[in-house]
Every structure is written in C-alpha cells, then in structure tokens.
A and B are shown apart, each in its own frame.
Chain A
Amino acid sequence: MSTSMSSRRQCCVVGIGQSVYTKRGGIQDRSQFQVTAQAIKDAVSDSGLATADVDGLSSYSNDANEANLMQVALGIPELRLASMVWGGGGGGSCGAIALACSAIESGRADVVVAYRGLCQGQGKRFGRHGPGRVNGNFVDPFGLMAPPQMLAMVVQRFMHLYPVTEEHLAEVALNARANANRNPYAVMHGRPMTREEYINSRWIAEPLRLFDCCLETDGAAAVVITTRERARDLRTAPIDILSAAQGSGPGWGSGALSGHNMPDPDYASTNGKAVAKEVFGKAGLTADEIDVAQIYDHFSGMVLMALEDFGFCGKGESGTFVASGALRWPNGHLPINTSGGQLSEAYVHGMNLVVEGVRQMRGTSTSQIEKAKTCLVTGGLGVAPTSALILGRN
C-alpha cells in the first residue's frame, strides 16, 4: 500500500557528486579530505537539500575521511548515523548504501550521504605492499602482496576451468575504454585503445595485463539517500533503490585477499551469488529485467565471473556472452560500465559506479541506454563481504 510505513520510507537517491578524477598524484593542491568534503557538498547541492539536512554519514574500506571530522567540515548540526561497513575494500561500496537504507527505513536517520574519497597520490598505493593485510603472515612473505596478484590467481583458475580466453578479458577492457571516450570526466578520455594495444600491454600478474587492472587515481564520489516522501519536495527526480545487500559466503574472509581458502566449488567466483539472489529477490526482478549494469571492474576477469554469478549467462558462458557484443553501448544485451568504469573512468572504490548508475536512471549518462529503467550496481568482487544494489526509475 502506498501509504504504508515501508513505502513512505522507501529509499531513493536524490543527489550525486564527484570530484575531478585524475591519475594518481594529479590532485596536489588540496587534501583528500577536502576533495571528499567537496564531493559530498556537491551531492547535497545536487539534491536541493542543505548540508544541515544531512543526519547520516556512511562509508567503507576504512575510509580515512572520518565522519566525525566530516560533520565539522560540513557543519552538520546533528549526526544520527556515523557508520562504516567492514571488509574487503570496494566490496563495501553498495554495502555502505545498504547500511544507509537500513538506517533510513528504520527511522534512525533521514538523509544519509554514502561516500568514498580515495587519492592514491596522497596515501597508500593499492597495488603495492602495505601493512595490516588480513592473514598477512601467510601471503606477504611469499610475494602475494596486492589485489592484482591475489585476484590473478582466481582468474587463472577460472580460465583453466572454463572456456574463457584473453580475447574475453580484452573485451571487458575495450568496452570500458570505449565508454570512457564518451565521458569527458574519465581519466582515460581522449585515450582510445585498440585490441593490439591491449594485447601488447605489459604483464602485471598473469593472466592479468596492465589494461586488465583498474586505474590508480585521485578522486571522491558521494550519493545522497533519503525517503521517497522527503524526496517529493526536491528538485531532482528521485531514483529508487529497489534493493541493496551486503554479504559473503563461507570461508571468504580468508579467501582471495588472504590465504585463498574459500570453498572449492566457489573458488573461481565473485563471492556474489548469495548477494545476487538477495538483490534480485528483494527487487522482485530477474537478470533479464536489468537494462544496464555497473559491475565492479578492479580486474577484467572478475567482471566475467560476475556476469555468471548474477545470472546474465550460465556458469562458464561469460566468454561467449561478451564475445557476442553483449556489453557494448548502445544496443548490447547488457551494456555495462557506461562511464568507463574503474578500468577507464576512475578508481573510487566503486562509488563512481553507483554515481554512474544514478546518471543512467536520470537519463544523463554520456553513454545513455535509451529507456533504461533498471540498473544493477555491484561492489568489489572476490572479496568479503561483497555487495550490490539495484536502482530503478518509474
């Protein structure tokens, strides 16, 4: 019923904001904290709300731009939610939004900003060894130190088990680059890539080449979430969050980003099957009813696994699926990563993918899918926990 509590507190995105995106080290004139605060301010302005209306802040991946200081910077008079989800880096992107939705649906907060600020030129470099890795004793001394190496092992086994080749990895990378070249804010805008350039790019960790790996960038992104009722007075059309979920299968906490001890039947996967079931179930949709998707592309091969785990094709069929042109704008069966994704727009730990999902639903993407009414967004894949959400427009 439209007047029920659950309907009135149905969550929607009413504002999006992002900083300039640059290559790592490109933002030197202001701090990561300032970049992030300004992205939040821009998202709030976009919604037509004031920062004084914000009463919740949500993030993930141990975001260094702490909510307590963000409250000070933004002049938020009363903060009712200051929370972060645990776990695997970008795996928390949609998880932070799921958390925001839980808080809003329960009445604990009314206007929550989910955000991520990540200037790798100012902090740690994710592709390098760093302190504090989960079960670091069992990986660091063996030279397994960073996600490209760790997830290369998963992609390697995936390609061993199923008919997936470098041509299929290439298609994910080439699609992202083509989309980025329609997006003037993408770091790789103006840098088209040929198949030959992809194949000739240097190995990072086999089977992953340089262009199979996400960019190293500086940037921040934020989205404003509130109730559909609150959104009625605002100037932008609200974009419904039809569902959002976070979760993990067994063993993944010491899985791909740790000792590689996830269950065998699940090894060559995204750890996203349960989350997929949950977001489709809650939204009352099937994979066939998704018009466009933003799939977390830290590494090309993980995108292929996601296409299978989220049911867009069968297990082992992702190679054939992408070879058919399914991913391509504007007429592919499932256009993905329409801003250029993290392979070619920017690596903001997936929050930029959520922002692009909202643009698709608003009709303002630079690779707009005509008449798109549903968009799946995933969080980081092959990590624990992972997450996903489905956006919809009326």
Chain B
Amino acid sequence: MAYFSETMPRPEPNMDDGKFWDSCAERCLRIQYCADCDQARHPPTPLCPKCQSAKVEWREVPDSGYIYTYTVVHYAAHPAVSQQLPYVVAAVTFDGCKGVRLVTNITDCDPESIQIGMRVKLWWDDIGNGLYLPRFRLRA
C-alpha cells in the first residue's frame, strides 16, 4: 500500500522532467547533470543555469543522504494525506551532488524526533501503475 492514499496527486511527467520519472519507474534515483560542465541541477530544466548547454546526462545519486530542513505537517491540505497526519516533509541532500535538494518524506519515524542533519536512507514507494516515488527513512 502506498504511503499516502490512492487519491494523492501523482506526478504528471512532462517533456522537461519525464526522464526523472522514467528512472523512478525503474526504482533508480537519477538527477540531471550538465553533460558539458558537470553541474547537477534539480528540478530538471532544459538549459544548464551555469553554462546554458542543453546537453544533459542522468546520473544515479547515492541511496542515502541527510536532512537539510523539514517540517512536520499537522493539517490536511488535501484529503489524501489525512490518514498520515502528522507527517514529515524534508528537503534531502546527497553527498557528491552539490546544490541539489529533493523534497520527499521521512517515514516510519516519530516526527518529533526529526532533526536537521540526520542521515536518511532511500526506499521506493509503489504508487501503482508502474510508478515509484523516492521516500526516506532514518538510517539505523
């Protein structure tokens, strides 16, 4: 069963970010890099903000990272989150992938125990129809 209920908004891949979601369907977390200057960037964007090149590579990032910041959400901005309240949303960063933050959830935890800097490990949440979302748990 998916982390949030089945009416939760799903990614609707578009021409700029489709490759990210294709990778997620393979349960592989790949981030967009500039093929010319090696700059990592997220969310995906058609040109490199550093050198304006349109050449991209998709590189797998480590399956662990740390919490850059977070919030514990206590109200339902959408009916699909009601059963998970309170839940943790975090911006997670990865070693060797400077400047990239991924908005995700820290699951299977006491929300009040979360702190900035904690190490977290990736797991793949099956949201159906062949798509998986990257969510994280505290690293043991």
A residues near B (Cβ < 8 Å) are 127-129, 135-146, 149, 152-154, 156-157, 160, 202-208, 250-251, 254, 258-261, 263-264, 267
Contacts and interface: CB of A to CB of B under 8 A. Distances in A.
Given A129-B77, A154-B69, A259-B42, A141 B89 contact: no
B34 to A, nearest CB: 15
Closest 6 CB pairs of A and B: A157-B69, A152-B71, A129-B78, A203-B74, A145-B77, A140-B9
Given A156-B116, A160-B69, A204 B42 contact: no
Nearest to B75: A204
Interface in B1-51: 4, 8-14, 17, 21, 41-43, 45, 49
Contacts of A140: 9, 78
Chain B interface size range? 35 or more
Nearest to B90: A153
Nearest to A258: B43
B20 to A, nearest CB: 8
Nearest to A145: B77
Nearest to B117: A160
B61 interface: no
B71 A254 contact: no
Contact of A260 (B75, B101, B135): B101
Given A153-B69, A205-B74, A206-B71, A139 B99 contact: no
Interface of B: 4, 8-14, 17, 21, 41-43, 45, 49, 68-75, 77-78, 81, 84, 86-87, 89-91, 99-105, 116, 127, 133, 135
B116 A139 contact: no
Contact of B9 (A141, A154, A202, A250): A141
A156 B10 contact: no
B96 to A, nearest CB: 15
A141 B49 contact: no
Given A141-B9, A141-B10, A261-B99, A206 B78 contact: no
Nearest to A209: B74
A306 B134 CA distance: 34
13 contacts: A127-B75, A129-B78, A135-B43, A139-B103, A140-B78, A141-B9, A142-B89, A153-B71, A156-B71, A157-B116, A202-B74, A204-B74, A206-B74
Contacts of A254: 42-43, 45
Contacts, number: 118
Contacts of B101: 259-261
Given A138-B102, A145-B77, A149-B77, 10 more contacts: A137-B17, A139-B103, A142-B89, A142-B105, A149-B89, A153-B89, A156-B70, A157-B116, A205-B72, A261-B42
Contacts of B10: 141
A271 to B, nearest CB: 16
A127 B77 CA distance: 7
Contact of A263 (B21, B84, B90, B99): B99
A152 B77 CA distance: 14
Given A129-B9, A157-B69, A259-B103, A144 B89 contact: yes
Contacts of A205: 71-75
Given A136-B9, A259-B43, A264 B71 contact: no
A141 B133 contact: yes
A176 to B, nearest CB: 21
B75 to A, nearest CB: 6
Contacts of B81: 143
A250 B43 contact: no
A144 B74 contact: no
Nearest to A150: B71
Contact of A149 (B8, B71, B99, B135): B71
Contacts of B75: 127, 204-205
A260 B77 contact: no
Contacts of B12: 137
Nearest to B91: A260
Contacts of A267: 68-69
Nearest to A268: B69
Contacts of A160: 69, 116
A139 B47 CA distance: 21
Contacts of A264: 99
